[in-house]
Amino acid sequence: MENFLDVPAEHDRYIVWEKCLQEIRQKLDLQAYKTWFEPIRAKDLEGKQLTIEVPSKFFYEYLEENFVSVMREAMNNTLGEDSQLLYSLRIEDGSFGSNAPQTPNSILLNGNDTKLNKEMSKERFQELYVETPLNFNYTFDNFIEGSCNRLARSAGYAVAQKPGTTAFNPLMLYGGVGLGKTHLMQAIGNYAKNQDDNRKVVYVSVDKFTSQFVNYMKNNDLATFRSFYEHIDILLIDDVQFLGGKEATQDIFFNIFNHLQQGGKQIVMTSDCPLIELKGLTDRLLSRFKWGLSADLQQPDTETRMAIIQKKLQDKNIELDENVVDYLTNAVDSNVRELEGAINALLHYSVNNISITLDIAKQIVQNLVQSHDDNKEVSIDEVIKTVSEYFGVSVEELRDKTRKKEIVIARQIAMYFAKEYTGYSLKSIGYQFGGRDHSTVIHAIQSVSDYMAEGNEIKRFIEEIEKKFKKK
Ligand code: ADP
Ligand code: MG
């Protein structure tokens, strides 16, 4: 990199880090800055890769947990978007700075580090492997095909037959809850594994992946974590919308993704929305996701619903009156999971030798559909739209940083419902509201709870909005 000012090249790292610090200082209160940033030393600069030295593992974790986005931004502004920040732990004898011997504990925030790609022992591999199993009940055979899922199913089947060698890499399956994403993704894994038992197939949800990542980081053993994921043949990663706002997880996933892709390994992902609607993902990750094929799963049409019901009844060797089957087909049209729930509830009765009349079926299904509705999952977009309509403010204003009082309250209420009704983390929610951090979301939720307790008109707003969600 070019030399700033008139100083010898080896001093560049101090200047780069000082520029970062200037930015960071403006964003934190003085005490936090003094505690967490003054003890850091710039250790090395190679191209766009800056290594900083921190006093302890705890220190590193605290920085990652609390200041990663501030640091990332400062790095981007100083060294550019593709810059990398590495940590190195201060060694125990207390020596600090450029003369300290290289510690073996370099930790990677992002970027490629060949040191981490070392072989791992069979036992360590096995440990993680048993933690990420397939569900053998999810197969292509029991996945009913219909016009709602035809593209996704055939792309999935192609991938299962020739993992890693089709143009569908990554394969992204997307669609609403209960439409068969997880089933189809695992069917791919099961099929490929049946063809060749030596294939290492891993199924993992983003939530689990994230918590594994955090644990391995805490134990200062990211090398094992990365090495494990880089040694598998088929990675099935479920619900990638939950990567939104998790920057460190995205960084490591980006590296794993590239490694697998380049090695001709297959990646299958699911998401509750199409790529363009994914929020809080870095551009570089999104651009990778666009390389393969996206296929959607839609709500099942009447014929598919009928076929699913008949298959289930056949599997359990149970017959139902035609008018009961008709009723079921039409009464539960939202998604396959609810349809299965209804079928199972009916089967429960027939196992107990009660013959199921249309009346009984109606009763059972109505109870079920109602209780489902009470805690139905809602998307963040729906939350924001509902709240914006209620208050007559625009969706953009709610998502933006405007500080107008009426907008601020509407926004806090929207954040509150986002936490209440969606599966998103505080961090992801903050991200979707103008890139705020999770403490803003906590504050919003706290404020809304306070309004509720005070019982003023805001309480009425909240109750009225709540009814709108319940009606959906
Ligand atoms: P998602 O991951 O999209 O939320 P799942 O894959 O968990 O949905 O599916 C919900 C339930 O519905 C599962 O029990 C699954 O086996 C079943 N299911 C979904 N689609 C189909 C289908 N086309 N044929 C048979 N069962 C299905
Ligand atoms: Mg799922």
Ligand 1 centroid vs 335 CA: distance in angstroms?
8
Shared domain for 353 and 255, answered yes or no, is no
Shared domain for 361 and 417, answered yes or no, is no
Cβ 244 under 6 angstroms from ligand 1? no
Shared domain for 292 and 400, answered yes or no, is no
What is the arithmetic mean of pLDDT over 171-199?
96
**Confidence band of 10 (pLDDT split at 50, 70, 90):** low
Atom of ligand 1 minimally distant from the CA of 183 = 6
pLDDT at position 371 over 60 = no
> What is the pLDDT at residue 153?
96
Tens digits of residue pLDDT in 309-361 = 999 888 888 888 889 999 989 888 888 988 888 888 888 777 777 788 888 88
Of 230 and 456, the one with more pLDDT? 230
Cβ 156 under 6 angstroms from ligand 1? no
> What is the pLDDT at residue 6?
46
Cβ 183 under 6 angstroms from ligand 1? yes
Proportion of the chain in helix, strand, coil states, percent, rounded to 5: 55, 10, 35
Cβ 180 under 6 angstroms from ligand 1? yes
Q: Is residue 117 part of a domain?
A: no
Cβ 301 under 6 angstroms from ligand 1? no
Q: What is the CATH number of the domain that holds 327?
A: 1.10.8.60
Shared domain for 39 and 175, answered yes or no, is no
Ligand 1 centroid vs 336 CA: distance in angstroms?
6
Closest ligand by atom to 146 CA: 1
Nearest CA owner, ligand 1 atom 25: 143
- Residue 265 lies in domain: 126-296
> What is the pLDDT at residue 5?
44
> What is the pLDDT at residue 468?
83
Cβ 11 under 6 angstroms from ligand 1? no
Tens digits of residue pLDDT in 145-175 = 999 999 999 999 999 999 999 889 999 999 9
Please say which residue of 244, 264, 296 terminates a domain: 296
Closest ligand by atom to 334 CA: 1
> What is the pLDDT at residue 60?
77
Weakest-pLDDT range from 115-119, 231-235, 336-340, 370-374? 115-119
> What is the pLDDT at residue 297?
95
Residues around ligand 2, an ion, CB closer than 5 A? 181-182
> Which DSSP letter does residue 117 get?
G
Please give the Cα distance from 227 to 117 (Å, whole number): 6
* Mean pLDDT score of the chain: 84
Shared domain for 37 and 89, answered yes or no, is yes
Q: Is residue 118 part of a domain?
A: no
Closest ligand by atom to 311 CA: 1
Ligand 1 centroid vs 259 CA: distance in angstroms?
30
How many structural domains are present in the chain?
A: 4
Shared domain for 391 and 361, answered yes or no, is no
Please say which residue of 327, 357, 373 terminates a domain: 373
Shared domain for 57 and 173, answered yes or no, is no
Closest ligand by atom to 181 CA: 1
Q: pLDDT exceeding 90 applies to what percent of the chain?
A: 39
Q: What is the CATH number of the domain that holds 264?
A: 3.40.50.300
Q: Is residue 229 part of a domain?
A: yes
pLDDT at position 215 over 70 = yes
Cβ 340 under 6 angstroms from ligand 1? yes
Please give the Cα distance from 283 to 165 (Å, whole number): 25
Of 188 and 364, the one with more pLDDT? 188
pLDDT at position 204 over 60 = yes
Shared domain for 285 and 334, answered yes or no, is no
> What is the pLDDT at residue 419?
85
Nearest CA owner, ligand 1 atom 14: 337
pLDDT at position 465 over 80 = yes
Q: Is residue 77 part of a domain?
A: yes
Tens digits of residue pLDDT in 267-297 = 999 999 999 999 899 999 999 999 899 999 9
Closest ligand by atom to 332 CA: 1
pLDDT at position 445 over 90 = no
Q: Is residue 199 part of a domain?
A: yes
**Confidence band of 377 (pLDDT split at 50, 70, 90):** low
Question: Token pair of 188, please?
Answer: 């791919």
Shared domain for 275 and 306, answered yes or no, is no
Please give the Cα distance from 205 to 236 (Å, whole number): 8
Q: What is the CATH number of the domain that holds 460?
A: 1.10.1750.10
> What is the pLDDT at residue 116?
38
Cβ 336 under 6 angstroms from ligand 1? yes
Nearest CA owner, ligand 1 atom 9: 180
Cβ 177 under 6 angstroms from ligand 1? yes
> Which of these, 290, 288, 201, lies nearest to 237 by C-alpha position?
201
Shared domain for 451 and 311, answered yes or no, is no
Question: Token pair of 266, please?
Answer: 């297959």
Closest ligand by atom to 148 CA: 1
Please say which residue of 53, 76, 107 terminates a domain: 107
In whole angstroms, how far apart are CA 45 and each of 70, 354, 424? 20, 75, 37
pLDDT at position 252 over 50 = yes
> What is the pLDDT at residue 269?
98
Nearest CA owner, ligand 1 atom 6: 180
Q: What is the CATH number of the domain that holds 82?
A: 3.30.300.180
Tens digits of residue pLDDT in 81-137 = 888 888 887 764 333 333 333 333 344 444 333 333 446 778 888 889 998 999 999
Q: Is residue 56 part of a domain?
A: yes
Nearest CA owner, ligand 1 atom 23: 144
Its pTM surpasses 0.85 = no
Shared domain for 384 and 365, answered yes or no, is no
Cβ 179 under 6 angstroms from ligand 1? yes
> What is the pLDDT at residue 376?
52
> Which DSSP letter does residue 86 get?
E
| Maximal C-alpha separation, the chain | 90
- Could you give the residue ranges of the DSSP H alpha helices within 42-121? 57-79
Q: Is residue 43 part of a domain?
A: yes
Ligand 2 centroid vs 377 CA: distance in angstroms?
13
Atom of ligand 1 minimally distant from the CA of 137 = 16
Shared domain for 271 and 384, answered yes or no, is no
E strand or H helix at 44: strand 41-46
Ligand 2 centroid vs 274 CA: distance in angstroms?
15
Q: Is residue 32 part of a domain?
A: yes
> What is the pLDDT at residue 402?
79
